[in-house]
Every structure is written in C-alpha cells, then in structure tokens.
Amino acid sequence: MLVLAIGDIIGRPGRRATRELLPELKQELDLDLVIANAENTAGGLGLTPATADELFATGVDVLTSGNHIWAQKEIFPYLNGKLPILRPLNYPPGVPGRGYIVIKQTMIVNLIGRTFMGDFDCPFRAMDKLLAEVKPKPAVIIIDFHAEATSEKIALGRYLDGRVSAVLGTHTHVGTIDARLLPQGTAYVTDIGMTGPMDSVIGDDTKSVIHHFLTMLPHHLSVGKGKTEFNAILVKIDEVSGKATGIERIYREVA
C-alpha cells in the first residue's frame, strides 16, 4: 500500500496548497491512505471544525496533531467524536480525544516528545503499552512523532524498528534529508517539513519573528504570505508483513 503523510499544514496558505495539490497527487501516485498534521491549520495555531472539514474535503483520511491541538477550544468536543482526528497518545489520562485510530486496516498513532516539549508521559512506554494491548493488531502501523529533539526522534525510530511500519517526525517544520528504511523494515524520517509559506520563519511572518527575537517582548505572530511549499513523505508498505519497502520525499511549490 502507498501512504502519504503531509507535514504540518500552516494556516490558509497550507490549506490552499493541500487543496490544490492533493487531489492530483492521489491520482498520480494511486494513494491508499493520506495522513496530515493539522495542529497549525487555524490561523497558524490550532485546529477548528471548519479547517478540519476543509482538509477532509481535499482527500485527507486522518488528521494528526501535537502540542497546539488545544489552542482552539471549539475543536474539543470533536476530539471525542467520529471524525478521524488524533491528539498525542501520551498525554496524561483524562484529556479529550484519542491517540490512535484504525482505518483502512491501518493503525495510525500520534505521539509527542518530551525533550524541550513538556512533561508528557513517556512516548516509548506508551507505544509499548499500545502494541501489547491492541487486539487484533493491524500489520500496518504508522506513527506521527511530534517532537523537537532530533535525538529523541531517531531514538524512537530505532526503538520501534521492525515493530511498526513507519515513524515520521513532525513539529520543527523543516524537512530533513534522512528519509530511509531502518534495518528491520521501518520507514523513518526525522521531520517531514511543513506545508506553508516559503518566505517565512517556519510558517510565521518573518518581520514579526525577527522583532520578537530582537526585543524578546510578547508579540503576535501572523502566518507568512507568498509562495507556498508542500512537504510530504510517501511510504510504500507490504500489507501482509507490515514492513516498509520504500520511502521518498514529495515536494511541490504553489505560487
């Protein structure tokens, strides 16, 4: 099967690029499943029901998230509903939503890192627990690991090598060049990158970000404008064994 994972979608520019590119990519690549990180789709911070519906209409099957999923409170009731929207699995018990879903005979899991991120439950042990408890366990398992530290992402990929089909990093918004197949058959990349404005600082307006760094004063950061980049990772997986057989970066630009 062929799975496309789209990197952090940033505000209106990212949604527009997804809307313009994804339908054609689905036909061109004959995709079986599309996953997108959507925690920055509503004005660059959070997810709303309207922005979620917009992405589902483009052909996205599952929306993942991260530390910004709580920024727009109107999404909270939907996290416990039928829509395929995930928040990180290793949040403490009692928070809204779910951390994994099984769709199209595939289990998609959302995890969040701890290094430079916050006091979350251990993503390594949370994944061990999930793999032990889910029955029947699908052969194909794909993880969106929303984390800051490169070392933590690589460590999780190595830890789960051979036990899941793919570990795909999000959060830093800068695509890395290390897309590869690990020795035991897990596809890995440290960060997919973002789908958002190119002339920006990780999606935010450049002048606003520079002003913040120069003054260190609280400052509203708006989404950048102009040409948009679309970053995604395509993973080819054997549906019987769950092993990945190929991984490649997909990059497009929208004027």
Residue 239 confidence (pLDDT): 97
In a domain, 204, yes or no: no
Residue 219 confidence (pLDDT): 80
pLDDT top residue among 102 and 219: 102
Asked whether the predicted pLDDT for residue 220 surpasses 90, the reply is: no
* pLDDT (tens digit per residue) in 170-198: 999 999 999 999 999 999 999 999 999 99
* pLDDT (tens digit per residue) in 105-145: 999 999 999 999 999 999 999 999 999 999 999 999 999 99
Residue 103 confidence (pLDDT): 97
CA distance 14 to 110: 20
In a domain, 80, yes or no: yes
In a domain, 206, yes or no: no
* pLDDT (tens digit per residue) in 36-74: 999 999 999 999 999 999 999 999 999 999 999 999 999
* pLDDT (tens digit per residue) in 6-26: 999 999 999 999 999 999 999
Q: What is the pTM of this model?
A: 0.97
Please give the tally of structural domains in the chain: 1
In a domain, 213, yes or no: no
Domain that holds residue 190: 2-197+227-254
In a domain, 249, yes or no: yes
List, in order, residues 6 or more apart from 42 with CB less than 8 Å away.
Answer: 11, 48, 50, 51, 71, 72
- 145 forms bridges with which residues in the sheet? 111, 169
In a domain, 218, yes or no: no
Q: Name the residues annotated as catalytic.
A: 68
In a domain, 133, yes or no: yes
Token pair in block for residue 148: 């800051």
CATH number at residue 112: 3.60.21.10
In a domain, 119, yes or no: yes
